[in-house]
Structure 1
Amino acid sequence: MQQRTKLAALLIAGASLGACNNTDGVGDMAMSLAGGYLGQYQITEIEGEAILADSKPELSLSEDGTVSGNTGCNNFSGKYEWVGTALSFGDMASTRKMCAPALMGQEQKLLGLLTSVKGAKLDGLDLVLTDGAKNPLVRAAKIQ
């Protein structure tokens, strides 16, 4: 029994080392997201356009697979799944406060785009959420 436990530990360690030596970026991206890119982000762009002044939308990725944040108007929460380089968000629940029409438009666009996310890339400390063709949908700066 003890030998099986040691063998399992060696196999896991070897797999972990293999992921670290992965040169295609897949292991690096997944490890970076899990290790240093979980946390809170300030959304700065939605489809390449700056967010509305003073709206301060945020996004927070937790280790347990939950996402939460604020659209600049309402709070939202849901689940995300990260497998290799594929990132996807499930349906979002949100509060239903009414805001100025421009903020409501930004909110609808952001929540709609989150369901279209298929991946992510790192750009410095920014997390860029992308569609299936790797086009940027949402850019968010890590809150230090």
Structure 2
Amino acid sequence: MNQFAKLNVAIVATTTLYACSNTGGFSDMAMNVASSYIGQYQVTEIEGEAIVADSKPELSLNDDGTLTGNTGCNNFSGKYEWVGTALSIGEMATTRKMCAPALIGQEQKILGALASVKNAKLEGLDIVLIDEHNNPLIRAAKSNE
């Protein structure tokens, strides 16, 4: 598929998701179009830096419009929505357990990056969450659920 065709698919997917997002979930049509984004991912990079060794942060874009995951320390959850062709991620609720300083720092970076997400793109099976200037914030590999 060429880049133009990929862009058209992404625009159709995001527009369809936006149109269906007020129903508390996605319609069958939106689910078919958006299925490439929905899933569980293992975070591999945060703002271009590797994750803390053995921390295994993850995130899941769920078909009901929720975003859930783990920072390598605490769990988080919130909502996401496609607004036109842009991705909007709401405020995240988190658990509050104590962790090593490196993991707390990673958690702050992940939560800060999620607050700055304006869009997403797929690179193979990886998802890249990007900011308003198209800079990568979080890169994650799709899990074999």
TM-score bucket of the superposed structures, by smaller chain? 0.7 to 0.9
- Report the TM-score when normalising by structure 1: 0.79
Q: Where in structure 2 are there 5+ consecutive unaligned residues?
A: 14-31
Q: SS of the residue aligned with 1:115?
A: helix
Corresponding residue of 1:63: 63
Aligned residue-pair number = 123
Aligned-partner SS, 1:105: helix
Identity of aligned residues (%): 69
Distance 1:34 1:122 in 2: 12
Contact 1:80 1:90 in 2 (8 A): yes
Alignment partner, residue 89 of structure 2: 89
Report the CA distance shift for 1:67/1:33 in structure 2 as closer, same or farther (over 3 A).
farther
1:68-97 Cα offsets, whole Å, 9 max, x none, are 000000000000011343111100000000
The answer (yes or no) to whether the contact 1:56–1:72 under 8 Å persists in 2 is yes
Q: Distance in 2 between matches of 1:92 and 1:140?
A: 18
Q: Which has the larger radius of gyration?
A: 1
TM-score by length of 2: 0.79
Q: Does the 8 Å CA contact 1:85/1:120 hold for their aligned counterparts?
A: no
Moved beyond 6 Å, runs of 4+: none
Within 5 Å, which residues of 2 pair with 1:92-131? Answer: 92-131=92-131
Question: Which deviates more from structure 2 when the two are superposed, residues 82-91 or residues 70-79?
Answer: 82-91
Q: Contact 1:59–1:67 (CA<8 Å) still a contact in 2?
A: yes
In the alignment, which residue of structure 1 is the partner of 2:16?
none
